[in-house]
Structure 1
């Protein structure tokens, strides 16, 4: 059975004002954390803050944000026209540097010579070392260490993109239930999932986990050449980007009728996932979501077989803060988006995982995935 392919209108693009506001909030957050500013290299942080997505090369591109000063984007001269065309460019001062000159000298006037800066996690070590040589009085920390919630709270237009990505993943799941599983390789079903995600509007497919039988007991199993057999439990975990924002969904299906023991394990995971979802509300610590899911599974006797955190944030990347894990005490805030994905993994036998993306609302949580969570029987 397949679901009809529905075309949704392209969401309105983010405006220069949207990007200016994000940069101002980020600079203020850095100052509130006692930092001299933020240094952002090409990657998801730069995309989120400016809409600029340059190719990542050995040439330095660096966004400098500090409270009380205009944002500065240091770019190679040959890439300056692309930077000037970025959606957030009207709010930026561009400072270009030419081959043969020092990019670090070009960046230095925008940095406090004795300042402590947060640096985006994916910045190249050679560039950080170059800045340290140019400004030996500066010190640095990773953004995730000092400003982990930089992209965590989504606005309404971001939430709309995440909802559209979730709906597309739901539609892909509905259609993949109609393909043949038995007698086909995991890699073939994974290719079906990738095709369906693209059919439903994804511009990028990040992962298509298909873990059949004992392979399902490996949470991040790469779909391989194992032939799926009648009687297999099959973990499906897939997602990517649509309109620049992520999807991530997991469901576990069974080839032919499952045994009572298999149904029991699936029911426990479904109960844990539901309980964790019902726990979501503003103000509780992230770790509480993990604790609720883990208690259900532990009480059922499978605590040692739940071997990963309960969830991760999602946005312009499919994995980002916040994390639903023991020790993460930060409170949930309306607009946060994250997965809830408990699992049970029985080595040598099978695994079960059920995952939805959830956003925090003013009084609870809202699922961005609504595909059925009951065990589906496939052929």
Structure 2
């Protein structure tokens, strides 16, 4: 794994950001925040693993003794911080509190278990608990060149799976059978794990987060295929394409053309200085003008990186200005309940001048 993907300088950047925020310390348990700062993909357990990053003072990693070898062999070992192992009869929460001393506030990892946050509340009753994401979001949203390369690798991998989908889709097969083939292809394409496989055939295509079912795919039906996984780097893929098993209904073909124009308009709109909500509006206006505004029922996109869904969110009301390095999906949809639906999704990263697509399979309706 490239060392510049999880640079040792990132910890200092996080400590400085913590100090600027006014928080006394960040407490990061296993999950995307901990991995972002250290490169350590720690196993989430009821036993506490926690990186403490004080605004002043030295950071340290509290780790169960049985997990110490894994921590020592992880990228976190390059950071030069103290690893503090604890034994089964110890209280690691009290140990963290004692090392940090009296603090007015702490930032907890956004994905910290409630059980752990409550234990920290008891161990540090004088410390206001806030979200570490208020500090880390500014860093995590701005992808480095190494992160952009990792997302491009993920995008190419999921593209290669979409290229195989026409061979999996046949009338008479179930969504679950097709989904199994796709999941195997996601891993074969280089992903470490499969995060989701949506195969929405016919009326199931009108449910954006449809679960695989035993519904048999029929001739003449459109099929929405939304797939993604996590690469060994930790960075995620996510792409949606629409297929039709034979010729699709005329009304579907007509509104699919609207959807394609809307998705292209949003992609073309991306550049530094525009707002997140204006990208949403670029897609939504095309769909509304065609009379399908009430059939586009979700935001246009979400950020992506170490999580499939992270900031920034491409949605009305988000006035944040897009900056170089922001990476997010653009995925408008049109859904006709009981009949069919469609969504086209690409990952886009903002360069110094425009949006660059990280998915490059055809956006045309693919007839199989």
- Give the TM-score band, short-chain normalised: over 0.9
Mean CA deviation greater in 145-154 or 55-64:
145-154
Shift of 1:102: 1.4
Are the aligned partners of 1:281 and 1:363 in contact in 2 as well (CA < 8 Å)?
yes
Structure 2 unaligned segments of length 5 or more: list them. Answer: none
Shift, 1:188, TM fit:
1.1
- The structure 2 residue matched to 1:125, chosen from 114, 120, 133, is 114
With normalisation by structure 1, the TM-score equals 0.92
> Match of 1:303?
293
Segments of 4+ moved more than 6 angstroms: none
Whole-angstrom CA distance in 2 between matches of 1:105 and 1:280 = 48
CA shift at 1:131, angstroms?
A: 1.9
Q: Is the 8 A contact 1:235 1:252 kept in 2?
A: yes
Residue of structure 1 in register with 2:195 after alignment: 206
Give the alignment's TM-score, normalised by structure 2. Answer: 0.95
Assess if the C-alpha contact under 8 Å between 2:222 and 2:242 holds in 1: yes
Displacement of 1:18 after TM fit?
A: 4.1
Q: 1:156 aligns with which of 121, 145, 168?
A: 145
Q: For residues 14 and 67 of structure 1, what CA distance do their matches in structure 2 show? A: 25
What is the aligned partner in structure 1 of residue 350 from structure 2?
360
Q: In structure 1, which of residues 242, 256, 269 is the aligned counterpart of residue 246 of structure 2?
A: 256
How many equivalent pairs are there?
366
CA distance in 1 between counterparts of 2:137 and 2:146 reads 21
Whole-angstrom CA distance in 2 between matches of 1:60 and 1:127: 8
Q: Is 1:312 aligned to 2:295, yes or no?
A: no
1:175 aligns with 2:164: yes
- Computed over aligned residues only, the root mean square deviation of the Cα atoms, in angstroms, reads 1.7
Provide the residue aligned with 2:60 in structure 1. 72
* Distance apart, 1:150 and its partner CA: 4.0
Partner residue, 1:49: 37
| From 209, 224, 227, the counterpart of 2:216 | 227
* SS of 2:313 mapped into structure 1: strand
Which residue of the other structure, out of 15, 35, 54, is the alignment partner of 1:27? 15
8 Å contact 1:149–1:322 — kept in the other structure? no
CA contact (8 A) 2:276 2:315 kept: yes
Residue 147 of structure 1, CA deviation: 4.4
Deviation at 1:275, TM superposition (A): 0.5
Cα displacement string for residues 229-254 of structure 1 (whole angstroms, at most 9, x for unaligned residues)? 01111100001012321110001111
1:237 is aligned to 2:247: no
* Aligned residue in 2 for 1:347: 337
Deviation at residue 220 of structure 1 after TM alignment: 0.2
Partner of 1:4: none
Deviates more, 1:332-341 or 1:106-115: 106-115
Instruction: Check whether the contact 2:121–2:129 (CA below 8 A) recurs between aligned residues.
Output: no
Paired residues of 2:17 and 2:135 also in contact (CA < 8 A)? no
Write out per-residue CA displacement over residues 165-201 of structure 1, whole angstroms, 9 at most, x where no aligned residue: 1111111111111234211101111112112212211
Q: What SS does the aligned partner of 1:228 have?
A: coil
Task: Please list every run of 5 or more consecutive structure 1 residues that lacks an aligned counterpart in the other structure.
Answer: 1-11
